[in-house]
């Protein structure tokens, strides 16, 4: 069975409430579409799959939908292998898909999956580890700058690529005179950070990140070491001044990362973060969280993402996946 998860609250589904019905017509007798309205409904559906795993789980929504689906799967399947996952890009943020160079229209990709299933023809996969972050599972963790940016991004006035670009534009000009906006955006995380048991000397960071994918949005490959080791995740701890980081913008776009003079980077299997100021905000795949407790980040299960048929893949020029292409 092909299981298709549709997030009814994603922007694409609010614009076109018929997406779930259209997907069901497309998969026909080869699968079933699920549109859980709550986390509890999602968990219940995934618990059923534990008994008879689907051949493919196709997820339509953004990074948050993927994160919640992988979390439900991680809890339900425990140490058992997870079914292959296909990302049907249908959200405001599709960072994981962009990192894997998956940019096909959802209906085109899903039709290719159905045709392959009918023909008994397997599709190629791209293997990634996810991370366990507290009790959640995901692909990108961020505190400091990442969480501060998303707090501004999810404003009551709306969000989307246009707002993200506006925030970058606003931040640039605010930085010129050290205005209140740039100070909010670059408010530092203060506390202790351990990477594979080793305590970092610094205790104040512009941003902390960990990820098994490099991109963080708008083409910025900030976690540039995420592809270095398929069995570990990339770590980035930024400590440079806001204006000094402008020097690294081109390098980040090209996937070379921030200079070691302004950031610590590594690959790791464990990262432990503890704030000295009580509650702190962090993000997992674009979803915001807040906690008073230390946050432990470790390796989660392997995920086999379906690679769309090669004729459909669109890759940006000059970019590779470090051996994954």
Domain map (residue ranges) of the chain: 2-124+307-312, 138-300
Q: Which CATH class is domain 2-124+307-312?
A: alpha beta
**Nearest Cα residue to 155 out of 163, 143, 147:** 163
According to the model, what pLDDT value does residue 85 have? 97
pLDDT at 16: 79
102-158 confidence digits (pLDDT tens): 988 999 999 999 999 999 988 899 999 999 999 999 999 999 988 988 887 776 666
Q: What is the CA radius of gyration of the chain?
A: 20
Question: How much is the pLDDT for 313?
Answer: 42
E-strand spans in the chain?
2-6, 31-34, 56-61, 85-89, 125-133, 136-138, 140-144, 189-195, 198-199, 204-205, 207-211, 233-238, 263-268, 270-275, 280-284, 287-291, 295-306
pLDDT of res. 148: 87
Give pLDDT, residue 156: 63
Ranges in the chain, pLDDT < 50: 311-325
Q: What is the structure's pLDDT at 325?
A: 31
- Dihedral pair phi/psi, residue 72, rounded to 5°: -60, -40
Look at the domain 138-300 and name its fold. Answer: Tumour Suppressor Smad4 (2.60.200)
pLDDT of residue 161: 64
pLDDT for the residue 49? 92
């Amino acid at each position: 069975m092909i299981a298709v998860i549709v997030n009814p609250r994603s922007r694409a589904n609010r614009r076109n409430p018929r997406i779930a019905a259209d997907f069901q017509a497309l998969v026909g007798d080869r699968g079933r579409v699920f549109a859980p309205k709550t986390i509890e409904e999602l968990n219940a559906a995934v618990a059923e799959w534990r008994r008879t795993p689907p051949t493919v789980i196709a997820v339509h929504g953004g990074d948050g939908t993927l994160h919640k689906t992988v979390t439900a799967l991680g809890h339900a399947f425990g140490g058992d292998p997870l079914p292959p996952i296909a990302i049907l890009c249908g959200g405001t943020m599709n960072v994981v898909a962009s990192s894997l160079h998956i940019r096909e229209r959802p209906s085109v990709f899903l039709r290719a999956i159905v045709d392959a299933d009918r023909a008994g023809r397997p599709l190629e996969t791209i293997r990634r580890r996810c991370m366990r972050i507290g009790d959640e599972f995901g692909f990108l963790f961020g505190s400091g700058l990442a969480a501060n940016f998303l707090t501004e991004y999810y404003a009551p006035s709306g969000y989307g690529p246009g707002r993200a670009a506006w925030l970058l534009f606003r931040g640039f000009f605010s930085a010129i005179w050290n205005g209140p906006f740039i100070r909010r955006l670059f408010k530092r995380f203060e506390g202790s950070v351990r990477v594979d048991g080793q305590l970092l000397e610094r205790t104040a960071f512009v941003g902390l990140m960990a990820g098994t994918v490099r991109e963080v949005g708008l083409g910025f490959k900030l976690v540039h070491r995420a592809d270095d080791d398929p069995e570990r995740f990339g770590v980035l701890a930024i400590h440079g001044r806001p204006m000094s980081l402008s020097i690294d913008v081109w390098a980040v776009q090209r996937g070379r990362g921030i200079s070691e003079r302004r950031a610590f980077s590594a690959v790791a299997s464990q990262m432990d973060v503890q704030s000295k100021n009580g509650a702190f905000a962090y993000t997992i795949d674009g979803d915001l969280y807040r906690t008073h407790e230390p946050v432990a980040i470790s390796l989660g299960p392997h995920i086999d993402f379906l690679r769309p048929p090669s004729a459909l893949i669109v890759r940006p020029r000059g970019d590779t996946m470090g051996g994954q292409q």
